Amino acid sequence: MSSINPDLERVLLTEEDISLRVAELAQQISDDYRERGNLYLVGILKGAFIFLADLVRQLSIPHDVDFMAVSSYGNSATSSGAVRILMDLREPVENRDILLVEDIVDTGQTLSYLHKTLQGRRPASLKSCVLVQKEREAPHEPIDYLGFAIPDVWVVGYGLDYAERYRTLPYLAELKRSVYMKNGS
Ligand code: IMP
Ligand code: MG
Kindly report, residue by residue over 113-159, the tens digit of the pLDDT: 999 999 999 999 999 999 999 988 776 678 999 999 999 999 999 99
pLDDT tops 80 at residue 74: no
Q: What is the pLDDT of residue 72?
A: 72
Greater pLDDT, 13 or 72? 13
Counting Cβ atoms within 10 Å, is residue 40 exposed (0-12), middle (13-18) or buried (19+)? buried
Q: What percent of the chain has pLDDT over 90?
A: 81
pLDDT tops 70 at residue 179: yes
CA atoms within 13 A on the CB side of 68: 27
Interval between CA 35 and ligand 2 midpoint (Å): 30
Q: What percent of the chain has pLDDT over 70?
A: 90
* For the CA of 113, the nearest ligand: 1
Taking the CA atoms of residue 126, residue 155, residue 107 and residue 103 in that order, the dihedral angle to the nearest 10 degrees is -10
Greater pLDDT, 162 or 136? 162
Q: What is the pLDDT of residue 137?
A: 73
Site to probe by mutation for ligand 1, drawn from 13, 73, 78, 137 as the one with most ligand atoms within 8 Å of Cβ, is: 73
114-119 long-range Cβ contacts below 8 angstroms, 24+ apart: 114/44, 114/68, 114/70, 114/83, 115/141, 117/85, 118/42, 118/93
pLDDT tops 70 at residue 12: yes
Residue 97 annotated to the active site: no
Distance between CA 101 and CA 36 in Å, rounded?
A: 18
Q: Which ligand 1 atom is nearest residue 107's CA?
A: 3
Catalytic residue among 106, 144, 152, 161: 106
Using 50, 70 and 90 to split pLDDT, how confident is the model at 82?
confident
Rounded to two decimals, the pTM is 0.93
Using 50, 70 and 90 to split pLDDT, how confident is the model at 76?
low
Q: Which ligand 1 atom is nearest residue 108's CA?
A: 4
Site to probe by mutation for ligand 1, drawn from 110, 128, 168 as the one with most ligand atoms within 8 Å of Cβ, is: 110
Amino acid, single-letter form, for residue 97: D
Interval between CA 71 and ligand 1 midpoint (Å): 10
Q: What is the mean pLDDT of the chain?
A: 92
Q: What is the pLDDT of residue 121?
A: 97
Are 167 and 159 contacting, i.e. CB atoms less than 8 angstroms apart? yes
Counting Cβ atoms within 10 Å, is residue 51 exposed (0-12), middle (13-18) or buried (19+)? buried
